[in-house]
Amino acid sequence: MSTFTKRILPLALGVALVGGLIAGVAGTSFAQGDSTALSASHSESVADLTADAETDRIAAEALAAAKPVPCPARTTAKMCTLYRAALTASTAGKYKWDSIGCYRQDRLPYHPEGRACDLVYGTIGRRAAGDNLSDGTAMKNWLVKNHTKYKIDHIIWRGVIYSPNGNWKGHPQPNCNSGKITECHYDHVHVAVVR
């Protein structure tokens, strides 16, 4: 099965399910607990679905998933893909960042080219601590684990750079000391993708 089919088919079935529910129940009243059987076919297989509250919830989630998540302004397609995946993973894992900054002028090319984002845990200028520290570390770990899939160039968190140069194990960020909170990434995870 093609990647397109794997991604689009579940969404199409969800949309068809909602459309069928709307068309099928219009003008029909059901008592609480009543259900109706719906079916959808794909490749000679049939799935029987019961139109109850759970099915409605699943269909609503499928429709919600159909709306593309907007990407941060002026980011590249690769950065946008990574952003969407990181947002999904961090939301599911409950380690989502508090704010984000991507495109900006800088002496290095990553932010000006739209290839980098800073995922802020807590407040810029304040060292991440407690849940912010553990959440930022969880995000960094997810990014390192998925560096190949999302074409990540490098990640910086808490004065440590993770990149191919260090075999993704991390090496100290040059000229960093604990007093340089933002510059040394103690308040945010910096991630950049390749060109």
Residue tagged 């060109």 (tokens): 195
Predicted confidence (pLDDT) per residue in 98-113, tens digit: 999 999 999 999 999 9
Bridge partners of 41, per DSSP, are 46
Task: Work out the percent of the chain whose per-residue pLDDT is above 70.
Answer: 65
| Contact between 120 and 99 (Cβ < 8 Å) | yes
Residues 50 and 93 in one domain: no
CA 183 to chain centre: 25
Q: 40 with 99, same domain?
A: no
Count of structural domains, the chain? 2
User: What mean pLDDT is predicted for residues 115-128?
Assistant: 97
Q: In this structure, is residue 82 part of a structural domain? A: yes
**14 and 86, same domain (yes or no):** no
Among the candidates 37, 66, 95, a domain finishes at 66
DSSP E strand boundaries for the chain: 37-42, 45-50, 99-101, 116-120, 152-157, 160-162, 171-172, 188-193
Measured between alpha carbons, how far is 81 from 138 in angstroms, rounded to an integer?
19
Higher pLDDT, 194 or 21: 194
The verdict on 107 and 154 lying in the same domain is: yes
Domain boundary (66, 87, 108) is at 66
* 125 Rama sector, left if φ>0, alpha if ψ -120 to 50, beta otherwise: left
pLDDT tens readout for residues 4-41? 344 443 444 343 333 433 333 333 333 333 333 333 33
Final residue belonging to a domain, choices 66, 88, 109: 66
Q: How many angstroms separate the CA atoms of 63 and 16, rounded?
A: 10
Same domain, yes or no: 110 and 144: yes
* 71 domain residue, yes or no: no
Verify that 21 and 105 share a domain, yes or no: no
What would the mean pLDDT of 84-106 be, rounded to a whole number? Answer: 95
Report how far residue 77's alpha carbon sits from residue 71's, in angstroms, rounded to the nearest whole number. Answer: 9
Q: What is the pLDDT of residue 60?
A: 58
Structural domain harbouring 28: 3-66
Same domain membership, residue 179 and residue 88: yes
Predicted local distance difference test score (pLDDT) of residue 103 = 96
